[in-house]
Structure 1
């Protein structure tokens, strides 16, 4: 399958077949990734059976610190581009500005991601699985000799499979390609069907390996239409939080880079020890947050506790990401949003008792809607955010409130000058590599084959 191919039935079938292979490979790596992390994340409980008091705090701190430093060392030594989410790398590669060296990225993202996320850092699984999915797709592309625009399309399909198997959310994975890579993805019937095929295969294979486990099913009821202004107000608030979250991530990355130049590995060690200690002292403030969301929904704490938890998770999320290990931001965003949404709903109950009941909702409804709104404010992909949250929680009755909140979040984030987090991360990476992104509409042909360090790849805005 060399270069541009006529969109015939044979080419369509062959591309979909290769996309299925890419999805299967992604599902294998993603399923094993989840299975190992779920097994390892119980290590603090095991340690608590043998140690107590300050010895337990110190031991957990040292374990997470060692795992964090190991993950950072593996990443920097063998595949520096495997650090962080991986989504900007995938988008840059589809656009022809970056190169995914899959023989290096795949093992490093897998092993270092397990060490980082399994140790308790506030990171999501979806970043590594998206990056591994793109890498697996390129492995399939090399195997079947796929190049040109089909290779870029296959990369996007693999990334979609990675998101699908991270959250068991295949439809939001398809939308992720449509909305997040809309400028780079080479659309045709066969490439679009390839995304469907990869997401289907990735989700199926992951379920076969790690079983079907709903991310966070939450029972909700349909909200009255008169409640929509409250959800829009929540969305506006989260628009501010989303912009602040993005600024915090980028500034902390710059701070970590400065510390790294002066004292290598000091910042990852400090972050790792602090997170490990918090696993004992305040466990709800750390880890990706999947279990935290379920606990908060089942037993919602007081308003003051929710506000403190939101502030703590904002800090630990930003710090964990800045450490430089593989890890995503989707899950931390969803958990942070749940804290803020529950706090918002609880505050309404305190100010006007009985109001929420008359509207047919509870603070939990605001917690669910907040997930989509904060995701929208940070990533600026509202359709992905809404469908992702509905697939994760099963809260289809809150579709209209999510639309209202995401509208408010998008408008406020835009008016504040906020920009999509992955777009800013990619620009930061390109600036560090002394590569400027292309101007709107500028040709990109031939860039994918040029190594990132080649000065000839430098382009003007």
Structure 2
């Protein structure tokens, strides 16, 4: 009952924790937290700002404003310098660096320090914005969440981007702009999950901001509705506004860098002193100006509602431009996007006032609205976001065309002078250069588990005892074993499970099903490595079984992924890059699956097809395998397989014979016809695509290809197939009564012995002779291997089994003599990938036996050899 309950909760948790479902849940949480943080920052800044203005009315402004600026700057600087130096500045460039995979801190500590220090700076009257802090706070909170719930690097990156978008959306109350800013400037990724999480987080953050915020940046809520128009005659003035915004935007960016350099080189002061001095100067300047300058949001409203004149706008632009540059250069925590909106409004008002005096068409306030987008676009190099953000704040459709004109013109002018955005320049000033190179996650998203998994897996049976499992662990270097029951994955046992045996007071005779982890996390062969890595991180695993349904087809470990990483970094990606499929499946049939394994039979010659199918049926019956029959149709290299018309009538007749044979023996038979440039490639693709466990091939016995051992097809399959291979050279008699098995030890001989009972069933009364060749000087040979093999076969073969030790100098000649004396029908050999080929090339055992014998020769190559 306990195990069933555990399985239920495991299944439920995995359903809820599926990547996309979890991503959207996390996006909702990120949007909620980011929105609340933005509301808290906005209300704190508005409360502090209102208190500062109120005090300046009651006491002398020339004392109050500089004093508040000095105290607020010192406190904010001390907080940042003492607890989180990374919280200085806007924070937008740091978030962009993290999203570009630059290792920089971004956590809850930075978010809290940024929240408090930005409140002190903005509340004391310094002319910076709160959008930079809200973006960094949102990204930091999202990153902290991904650390609490471990995930893949790419998924973590998307969550950070969603947090940044939510922060910007909450600051401007513009959810669409928040998403676009993520896509256009920060992440530059339009994948489904990125857009989904960013949209959801930005929407929720905007809702929170609208419900509980102050709407200080929502022009549609705070300003009186003004009548905006657009006439064709105004286009030249909008073009002029775009050009001016582009030029002044570049000047603004260069001035920010110059201010930072000045503070670094000439002012050897601590951060609290630098910000305090800037706060003092800023307060002093504002105290000398009209009362409207004491509230930065109110100053922008005056420009946008038409309550100003051209002189007021000019003074506002010059004063704000200078103070923003000085304040940001000191390292004060605050954003630059909102200030650029104010500068753009002042610049647009000046151009609008000029147009109104000459043509009298549109009010200067229309140009003030449009100027915000122009300056924003020039500074940040995000024309689409600039258009949308002003439109979302005004919801005025009459502004769309002017916004598009000025934003694009400003962007093109600024791009012509310097293609880098303000945040790129800030990163380069810090020595961080972001280049758009292929990412590791990009490579991991292209590769699948089947590309790098280990096809041969050490497993345990669910019926094994704990004592047997401990022995298996001691005999292997692996730390995890999938547990199979009737060929299907039912659990996994790790070293940690063995350690917990004593605590559970279990006997060593207890079945491992009592200690294994049931329903283990698995992946399909088509899963991307990025998804595999995400699962490994989320569940803190070192490996994952790869399954097709419930059938185990391989295992993938962290080491496999690290190997791919290492090969990519070393520039050797030939072995890991996905290969294009040269063959094309034009026909296939499927039968019910057993889930125990698959045996592939490439059929080419009708003369040998029936014998190969009989052998395949014998093996499939013994192992409960499915049979996969393959017909390959070759086309010229200059023809595309998928586009070349071919005749398949003869191939269908051959495959139909296999299907009927399978029906007679109640064995599932799958069939397929592939069009390819070469047979070997088609066979290897089928082995990979269909997760073949054993390939049974026929060979005619000769080759005319220079340098080839058997033939180009056979050599390639023997070397590269990641499964067992059985190669049969059939004689004309096709008899299977008398068998000769030369013994040499090793995995291939063992594999041949394991296969022999199935093949021997082709005869009603098989006679099997095992021989082992010893050197003449071995007077007392060790026949232990022979005896064990005889005992094994006698229990499994209904026939006569005997063993003979032979003394000879030539192993090949001794085997051939034994075959001749025994009148053998079949010789079955074991051979490995490399040693076999090398031996044959040098004229050793397999070649002599394979070529000189007059009977059928079956060669077995184990995948583990």
- Residue 110 (str. 1) matches residue 118 (str. 2): no
Match of 1:48 among 46, 49, 56: 56
Q: TM-score, normalised by structure 2?
A: 0.47
Asked if 1 retains the 8 angstrom alpha-carbon contact of 2:31 and 2:200, the reply is yes
> Are 2:372 and 1:376 aligned?
no
User: What is the CA distance between 1:347 and its match in structure 2?
Assistant: 1.8
Answering whether residue 433 of structure 2 is matched by residue 437 of structure 1, we say yes
Contact 1:288–1:332, Cα closer than 8 Å, also in 2:
no
Matches within 5 A, 1:380-459: 380-417=381-418, 419-429=420-430, 431=431, 436-443=432-439
| Paired residue secondary structure (1:146) | coil
Flag the structure with more relative contact order, 1 or 2, with Cα contacts below 8 A and sequence separation at least 6: 1
Pairing 1:238-249 to 2, within 5 Å after superposition: 238-249=245-256
Q: Contact 1:215 / 1:290 at 8 angstroms: preserved in 2?
A: no
Q: CA deviation at 1:182?
A: 4.3
Partner residue of 2:301?
294
Q: 2: distance between equivalents of 1:386 and 1:404?
A: 10
Q: Distance in 1 between matches of 2:334 and 2:217?
A: 21
User: Structure 1 residue aligned with 2:22, among 14, 32, 37?
Assistant: 14
Sort the Cα spacing of 1:125 and 1:419 in 2 relative to 1 into closer, same or farther, 3 A: same
User: Does the Cα contact within 8 Å between 1:23 and 1:161 map onto a contact in 2?
Assistant: yes
Q: Which residue does the alignment assign to 1:452? A: none
- Rounded Cα–Cα distance in structure 2 between residues aligned with 1:309 and 1:9: 53
What residue is the counterpart of 2:360 in the other structure? 356
Partners in 1 of 2:44 and 2:92 — Cα distance?
22
The answer for the alignment partner of 2:229 in structure 1 is 222
TM-score by length of 1: 0.86
For residues 439 and 166 of structure 1, do their structure 2 counterparts lie closer, same or farther at Cα, with a shift above 3 Å needed? Answer: closer
Q: 1:344 matched to which residue of 2?
A: 351
Could you tell me how far 1:268 is from its partner in structure 2?
Answer: 2.1
Contact 2:226 2:305 in 1 (8 A): no
Q: Which residue of 2 aligns with 1:195?
A: 198
SS at match of 1:326: coil
Q: How far apart are residue 35 of structure 1 and its match?
A: 1.0
Q: 1: CA distance between counterparts of 2:296 and 2:64?
A: 22
Q: Distance in 2 between matches of 1:285 and 1:250?
A: 29
SS in 2 for 1:261: coil
Would the alpha carbon gap of residues 438 and 381 (structure 1) be closer, same or farther in structure 2, given more than 3 Å must change?
closer
* Contact 2:114-2:333 within 8 A present in 1 as well: yes
2:329 alignment partner in structure 1: 322
Contact 1:260 1:266 in 2 (8 A): no
Residue segments in structure 2 that go unaligned for 5+ positions in a row: 1-13, 445-568, 570-865
- Secondary structure in 1 aligned to 2:102? coil
Query: CA separation in 2, counterparts of 1:31 and 1:262?
Result: 33
SS of the residue 2:342 aligns to? helix
Give the 3 Å change call, closer, same or farther, for CA 206–417 of structure 1 in structure 2. closer
* Residue deviations 1:148-205 (CA, integer Å, cap 9, x gap): 100000000000000011011101001101111244x4x4322220111111121222
Matching residue of 1:31 = 39
By percentage of residues, which structure has more strand?
Answer: 2
Contact residue 82 and residue 105 of structure 1 kept, 8 A: yes
Give secondary structure in 1 for the equivalent of 2:129.
coil
> How many residues are treated as equivalent by the alignment?
427
- The runs of 5 or more residues in structure 1 that have no matched partner are 1-5, 447-458
Residue 219 of structure 1: how far off its partner (Å): 2.6
Match of 1:69 in 2: 74
Instruction: Report what 1:177 is aligned to.
Output: 182
User: For the structure 1 residues 45 and 231, does the alpha-carbon distance in structure 2 shift closer, same or farther, using more than 3 Å as the test?
Assistant: same
The range that moved more, 397-406 or 119-128, is: 397-406
CA distance in 2, matches of 1:212, 1:122: 18
Q: Is the 2:107–2:140 Cα contact (8 Å) retained in structure 1?
A: yes
Distance 1:151 1:231, change over 3 A: same
Once the two structures are TM-superposed, the CA of residue 129 in structure 1 deviates from its matched residue by 0.3
Structure 2 vs 1, CA of residues 263 and 25 (structure 1 numbering), >3 Å: closer, same or farther?
A: closer
Instruction: Specify the alignment match of 1:59 in structure 2.
Output: 64
How far, CA to CA, are the matches of 2:281 and 2:183 in structure 1? Answer: 39
Query: In the aligned structure 1, how far is the partner of 2:250 from the partner of 2:72?
Result: 30
Check the 8 A contact 1:75/1:325 in 2, yes or no.
no
Larger Rg: 2
1:331 aligns with 2:334: no
Residue aligned with 1:153, SS? helix
SS at match of 1:356: coil
- What's 1:451 paired with? none
Give the equivalent residue in structure 2 for 1:455: none
Distance in 1, matches of 2:260 and 2:293, equals 19
Secondary structure of 1:409's match? helix
More helix by share: 1
SS of 1:404 mapped into structure 2: helix
What's the counterpart of residue 256 of structure 1?
263
1:394 is displaced (CA, Å) by 2.4
